Structure 1
Amino acid sequence: MEPIICFEHVFKSFGGQAVLQDFSLEIQPGTFLTVIGRSGCGKTTALKMVNGLTRADSGRVLVQGKDVAQADPVALRRRIGYVIQSVGLFPHMTVEKNVAYVPSIAGMDGWKGQARREKTAALLRQVGLDPALAGRFPRTLSGGQRQRVGIARALAAGPEILLMDEPFGAVDEITRAQLQEEMQRIHRESGITILFVTHDIGEALKLGTRVLVMDQGQVQQCDTPEELVRHPATAFVEALVEPQRRLKYYG
Structure 2
Amino acid sequence: MPAAVLALSVTVTVAGCAGTVTGGGAAADRPAAVGAHGASATAPGTAQAAPGRTSADSEASGASAPALLPGLGARTRAEIPANARQVLLVTGQGKNSSDSRVVLYRRTGAGWEPGATWPAHNALRGWTDDHHAGDLRSPIGVFSLTDAGGLLADPGTRLPYNHSGGFTIGGRGFEGEPLAGSFDYVVAINYNREPGTSPLDWTRPLGADKGGGIWLHVDHGGPTHGCVSLEEEHMKELLRTLDPDQHPVIVMGDAESLER
The alignment's TM-score, normalised by the length of structure 2, stands at: 0.25
**Which structure has more RCO (C-alpha within 8 Å, separation ≥ 6)?**
2
Asked which structure has the greater CA Rg, the reply is 1
Please identify which structure carries the higher helix content: 1
